[in-house]
Structure 1
Amino acid sequence: MCTGCSVNLFQLFEIVSDEKKVRDYLFDHHLLTKTVNCTSCGSVIELNSKYQFRCNKVVRLKHGKAYRKRVCKFRVTGLKDTFFERSKISLKDILYLMYLFIDNRTTIKTASFETKLSPATIIDWYSFMRDIIINYCETKSSKLGGPGTVVEVDEAEFGQRKCDKAEVRGNWVLGGIERGGKKIFLVTVGDRSEETLIEVIKDWILEGTTIVSDRQSSFRNISLEGYFHQTGDNPQNSKDSESSTNTNNIKRLWRDVRNEIPKFGVREEHFESYLAKVFFRKIFPDQGERFHHFMLATAALYPPYK
């Protein structure tokens, strides 16, 4: 199993240009398995060039006092249970799409031009990939902070205006970012009451943490819950991102979230996945390293047939 690699786009081109390299890369990241045990005769079968497991072992079966020979006809696709099962496009195209998906600079239009796949096909595959990101966030997330640690928290609304109406209907998100580290949390909240926001903070931030927030009444009693609370200055008044009272880091996090979320045509059911993608990029800021961990996350959600 690959314990760490960093692949750039040029190196990915080299991989997808050779079918053996594609297979080896998928083997190394446990997206495919090399061998399975035949459920009929127990033989170990290797994956063939057509991505199939086919057992042709000749077995002897007792028939009365005599023995008869029979060829085992166990068959199963090598893509069974994997992310690629029932795919109508090639593995190399899917690998390329996965790389473009985690590269925030690539639009659907650009991905369609590069892969010659229709925008509808790409949107469908990106939807499957969002499930991988969400699963990773749900299984790998951990609490932020602790004694001696500073976490900036803030809330923001994400949505779009309808025609000329002043009202913006969207999703309110409470976010936090740990200074000096990669840990963040982004949680949608149904309301902005003090009770709701404090419960989210208790779910995501360890006691003893110093919490820095804007001067909002919703956080005024947070010190009663085992935290140290400081109110932040306007980020324009402080250029020092590590000063004790500014909220520059969380403001930058909101900018990243807004850059991730499309301005138009956002489906409500996809909103959480956009937050999860920001979460994933913050943990793995390097594109090549991020691709490696995305491969492992895919294998964790879609383990191959054994």
Structure 2
Amino acid sequence: MAQNEINLIDLYKLNPENDGKDLIKKLQEWGALPKEGEYLCPNGHELGLYKDKSCIDGFKWKCSQMISKPKQKPSKCNYGASVRKGTFFARSHLSLFQICGFVHLWVHNSELRVIEKEMRISKRFTVDWSSFCREVVFDGMIRQAKQLGGNGSIVEIDESKFGRRKHYRGHRSKKETLLEIIKTWIKPGTTIMSDCWKAYNCLKNEGFQHLQVNHSIEFVDSDTGAHTNTIESSWRHAKASLPQYRREKSFFGGYLAKYMFMKMCKAARLDPTIEFFKYAGQLYSPLEELSDESENEEDEDDGDIEFSNISGVDAY
């Protein structure tokens, strides 16, 4: 657990303090909302945060600077914008506390029906915002992606089957496909541990040290100490994190991204709630005016979606 990890009570206490401005300040600190002086009005003036009871958050961005026009008296700019303008929160009319509470419970893997009850929100909201949250962590994991290994480092690789392929569709497990993935994500000179699948036999010729373990005989090679226990454990936990039913293919990347996000936070002793809002601020940049976007609906297959072999890595 991260030191000083925030909890739901902390978020609740921030909400009424200073008419809700303390929660806004905390979100500004995490990068999920812009800070004062960062927004500019169309006339190039810095916007300030002013109280406005007509707004759901009790505050709005406003320009109070004077503007001058030829042959006219100076007048106030009076440009205004929502606190949520262009941010992760712009999609909802719920309070900031309700959204923050949802995120906090979501990253801690609370059941959606529990979140609905505790935050007093609708089932439709929980379903939609679960999708938005997966989008945030997926983008964050892509931004964090980097090559593994190097000289003196060990990387375990293993394939995992998440289900059967339907309609006789083929498996993308050819040597060329796997080698392309390995060379993209693992540095040359790395010691790679794998099982004895023949598709891995070319690794020694591609600049890697390669150790294998024959699982039909033993789980740890008695001579080299090679094993794939770590990555196999990772795959087990990844599968356990998936929902039991309705594993839509279009959501699969988000499910794995959430698993990776939580694993990263635990390993680095980071608060997942705070890290989530940092990622949300990167994806929904508060300093960029976002146009309304219509969600593209993807075709969904009937019944359960089955997944083929997917290669994974674990480094140490």
TM-score by length of 1: 0.79
The 5-angstrom pairing of residues 168-247 of structure 1 reads: 168-169=164-165, 191-232=172-213, 234=215, 244-247=225-228
Deviations 1:194-226 (A, max 9, x none): 221111111111111111112211212211111
Match of residue 266, structure 1, among 247, 250, 264: 247
**Preserved CA contact (<8 Å) 1:78 1:305:** no
CA distance 1:222–1:46, change in 2 (3 Å):
same
1:29 aligns with 2:30: yes
Deviation at 1:55, TM superposition (A): 2.6
Deviations 1:79-122 (A, max 9, x none): 11111114121111111111122113x11122112112122211
Name segments (4+ residues, structure 1) moved above 6 Å. Answer: none
CA distance 1:8–1:73, change in 2 (3 Å):
closer
CA distance 1:143–1:244, change in 2 (3 Å):
farther
- For 2:270 and 2:104, locate their aligned partners in 1 and report how far apart those are by CA, in whole Å: 9
The 5-angstrom pairing of residues 1-12 of structure 1 reads: 6-12=5-11
Please identify, of 259-268 and 285-294, the stretch whose mean Cα deviation from structure 2 is larger. Answer: 285-294
- For 1:190 and 1:278, locate their aligned partners in 2 and report how far apart those are by CA, in whole Å: 24
CA distance 1:199–1:90, change in 2 (3 Å):
same
One-letter amino acid of the counterpart of residue 85, structure 1: A
Name the counterpart of 2:83: 78
Q: Please give the secondary structure, in 1, of the residue aligned with 2:165.
A: strand
Name the counterpart of 1:163: none
**Preserved CA contact (<8 Å) 1:146 1:207:** yes
One-letter amino acid of the counterpart of residue 304, structure 1: P
1:155 aligns with 2:155: no
One-letter amino acid of the counterpart of residue 38, structure 1: C
Name the counterpart of 2:277: 295
Deviation at 1:236, TM superposition (A): 11
- For 2:176 and 2:209, locate their aligned partners in 1 and report how far apart those are by CA, in whole Å: 18
Deviation at 1:23, TM superposition (A): 0.9
Deviation at 1:288, TM superposition (A): 5.4
Match of residue 48, structure 1, among 41, 47, 50: 50
Name the counterpart of 1:14: 13
CA distance 1:13–1:77, change in 2 (3 Å):
closer
**Preserved CA contact (<8 Å) 2:220 2:226:** no
One-letter amino acid of the counterpart of residue 22, structure 1: L
- For 1:109 and 1:235, locate their aligned partners in 2 and report how far apart those are by CA, in whole Å: 44
- For 1:214 and 1:61, locate their aligned partners in 2 and report how far apart those are by CA, in whole Å: 75
Number of residue pairs matched by the alignment: 270
**Preserved CA contact (<8 Å) 2:175 2:200:** yes
Name the counterpart of 1:140: 144
Please identify, of 201-210 and 274-283, the stretch whose mean Cα deviation from structure 2 is larger. Answer: 274-283
**Preserved CA contact (<8 Å) 2:27 2:33:** yes
One-letter amino acid of the counterpart of residue 225, structure 1: E
1:39 aligns with 2:20: no
One-letter amino acid of the counterpart of residue 294, structure 1: F
Name the counterpart of 1:178: none
Name the counterpart of 1:93: 98
**Preserved CA contact (<8 Å) 2:7 2:104:** no
- For 1:275 and 1:112, locate their aligned partners in 2 and report how far apart those are by CA, in whole Å: 23
Please identify, of 76-85 and 142-151, the stretch whose mean Cα deviation from structure 2 is larger. Answer: 76-85
* Structure 1: segments with no counterpart, 5+ residues: 160-167, 171-188
Match of residue 123, structure 2, among 111, 119, 124: 119
Q: Please give the secondary structure, in 2, of the residue aligned with 1:47.
A: strand
CA distance 1:237–1:190, change in 2 (3 Å):
closer
Deviation at 1:234, TM superposition (A): 4.4
The structure where strand makes up a greater share of residues is 1
* Structure 2: segments with no counterpart, 5+ residues: 52-57, 289-316
Deviation at 1:293, TM superposition (A): 1.6
Deviation at 1:12, TM superposition (A): 3.1
CA distance 1:232–1:113, change in 2 (3 Å):
farther
Deviation at 1:239, TM superposition (A): 8.8
Deviation at 1:238, TM superposition (A): 6.0
One-letter amino acid of the counterpart of residue 51, structure 1: F
CA distance 1:236–1:44, change in 2 (3 Å):
farther
Deviation at 1:297, TM superposition (A): 0.8
Q: Please give the secondary structure, in 1, of the residue aligned with 2:90.
A: coil
- For 1:6 and 1:293, locate their aligned partners in 2 and report how far apart those are by CA, in whole Å: 11
- For 1:220 and 1:139, locate their aligned partners in 2 and report how far apart those are by CA, in whole Å: 31
